A = this chain, B = another copy of it.
Amino acid sequence: MDSNRLEEVLMRNVESLSLSSEQERRMLPRGTGRYPSVKTLKEIMGLIKALIFPAFFDSRYTNRHLRAFSIGVNLEKLFSLLSTEIRRALRFDCNIENPDCPECFKNISNSAEELTLKFIERISEIKRLLYTDAEAMYDNDPAAGSYAEVIMSYPVMQAMIHYRTAHVLKELGVPVLPRVISELAHSATGIDIHPGATIGEYFAIDHGTGVVIGETSIIGNHVTIYQGVTLGAKNFTLDDDGRPVDVPRHPILEDNVTVYSNASILGRITIGRNSIIGGNVWLTHSVPADSKILQR
């Protein structure tokens, strides 16, 4: 091929791709500095998995006494990586006049390190909850051969590890990262749990593909749901700009509720404790405790 032609086309397109449209500029974060890195967040999730399920995901796993070394190393690494990502997230949309001022940088850094320590203080509780989830998945699935199969391989365990991590980060007020973390699991598993949702212990999802759990959902303890279930909004309240408002708009499932495959439960309604919602049901009103709703 004529090498002048090649050069001309490449040079011209480099130029046009280097320009930012007005739309592009509007969508870029106001902050400066590097943005959080999806690749590093994946590495962080790998460390969290190794800390919580060392027998399965810590490649250095050996016996009980020596394990503390590996946990120590992993926790230090987690501190280092996560505090960096939180700092980036804090500066992400910071609209201070001169965000390069070292004062601001120092404040943000300290805050990022504080938030990271607060997260670390909560890993033990995340761990406790995830073991109850694993037990619930196992108890609920006649095809499960062992807890190990559940922990090592069920996509839904991935989804729950990401959700419970993202949820704590969101409670701590960390911006951006919680959603990125939960979408990593959404992409990998087809299970979409918003980090804002509240989910109790012993939570089981079977098969899982296509499950959607909306931002303001509240789920009690010992709840079980199946593939394709949507806990969604029925309709949106719009603000003056016509943009939907972020208000409680997803269902509340009380303890011991079961929802079978492909059911849609929409709006800020309450499903009373011990209720069973059948497959393919489309439900937009509250039901009392002990209800059994089947498709007509």
Q: Mark A23-46, 1 if CB is under 8 A from B, else 0.
A: 110011100001111100000000
Query: Contact mask A189-215 → B, CB, 8 Å, 1/0?
Result: 111101010000000000111101011
Q: What is the minimal beta-carbon distance from A226 to any residue of chain B, in angstroms?
A: 8
Taking the complex as formed, is A71 at the interface, i.e. its CB lies under 8 A from any CB of chain B? yes
Asked if A76 is at the interface of the complex by the 8 Å CB criterion, the answer is yes
B21 near A128 (CB under 8 angstroms)?
Answer: yes
Query: Known contacts A142-B245, A142-B246, A148-B176: does B188 contact A209 (CB below 8 Å)?
Result: no
Inter-subunit contact A135/B192 (CB<8 Å): no
Partner of A214, one of B11, B143, B187: B143
Q: Nearest B residue to A70 by beta-carbon distance? A: B73
A76 and B66 within 8 A (CB): yes
Determine the chain B residues whose CB is within 8 A of the CB of A120 once the complex forms: 9-10, 13
Question: Is A51 on the interface with B (CB-CB < 8 A)?
Answer: yes
* Nearest B-chain residue to A282, judged by Cβ: B280
**Proximity string of chain A (280-291) to chain B, C-beta cutoff 8 Å, 1 when within and 0 when not:** 101000000000
Using CB atoms, name the residue of chain B closest to A239: B142
A215 to B27, CA, bound (A): 31
Taking the closest CB of chain B, its distance from the CB of A71, in whole angstroms, is 5
A134 on the B face (CB < 8 A): yes
| Given A13-B121, A29-B146, A232-B261, 18 further pairs, Cβ under 8 A | A3-B63, A14-B75, A18-B67, A27-B151, A28-B55, A35-B55, A62-B76, A68-B72, A69-B70, A69-B71, A140-B244, A142-B236, A142-B245, A153-B183, A207-B230, A227-B230, A228-B262, A262-B264
Q: Which residues of A contact B (CB under 8 A)?
A: 1, 3, 5-7, 9-11, 13-18, 20-21, 23-24, 27-29, 34-38, 51-52, 55-56, 59-73, 75-77, 79, 92-93, 102, 106, 109-110, 113-114, 117, 120-121, 123-124, 127-128, 131-132, 134-135, 139-149, 151-155, 158, 175-176, 179-180, 183-184, 186-192, 194, 196, 207-210, 212, 214-215, 227-228, 230, 232-233, 236, 243-247, 249, 261-262, 264, 266, 279-280, 282, 295
